[in-house]
Every structure is written in structure tokens, then in C-alpha cells.
Structure 1
């Protein structure tokens, strides 16, 4: 599957299952690879707001914040 189709599939999953934590995490990886760090952080924050959050999502959010030069924000991720 190409990247735009893959991202579209994750959007559809999020529309149908807003509490899904995997789709926003995976979509954040696509966004991060394109250098869209703020959008990737938003997806990870969404994933962390679901009941199915994981430690990996916290680590990914910290990484994205650091890549944006937001070390202070990365230090307070909880």
C-alpha cells in the first residue's frame, strides 16, 4: 500500500473507532517520516487520550517533541 492510501486507511479507522490507539500511532509515524512533527505529535496525543495507550506512544511523543526542538515539553510528557 502506498503512503497516501495507508494514511487514508488510518483516517478511516479513526473515524470509525475514535478510541483506537494503534491507528493514530501508526499515522504519526507516516507524518514524522515526512517531517510533519507537529501533526505527528497531535496524533500521538490523541493515542494517549484513549483507554488503550501504551508506553511506546509516550516514547514516540517524546521523540517527536525532541525533533521539533521542544526539549522542555518532552521532559514533562506524562
Structure 2
């Protein structure tokens, strides 16, 4: 990581142009790339008992648990 930061010149120019950052962060092309990476990176290891896809008639609720379950920022992928 440090080598990459040196290569990018982040130690010589540690701050960015705020207007440029606003233009780039959250850009549609970046969102599309992130969505595609998430789609390709999702893997079902075992569909025991044909659980998936979930049957809405059989299951009324599901629990999302763990340290990041309610941390929206950590789910940005």
C-alpha cells in the first residue's frame, strides 16, 4: 500500500482538489464497476436443502447478524 501511495505521489501532494473529488466520488461509472465486482464476487458455497432462493411464503423474516449488520458504511463493498 505504501509503495502504491508513493507511486501516486500522495506523500508529496497529500491533499486533493475538493472539486475534483466531488466530481469523481460516487460517479456512475464507479458505481457500475462496484456493482459488477460485487455481483461477480458473490458465491453460494452450498445450497443445502434448496434453501435459496428464499421463499417469501415460508419465511416471514430473516436475521442479519454480526458486527457489521447495522453498519451501513461497512456494506459499501
Same topology, TM > 0.5:
no
- State the TM-score, normalizing by the size of structure 2: 0.29
- State the TM-score, normalizing by the size of structure 1: 0.29
Query: Which is higher, the Rg of structure 1 or of structure 2?
Result: 2
Higher relative contact order, structure no. (Cα contacts within 8 Å, ≥ 6 residues apart): 2
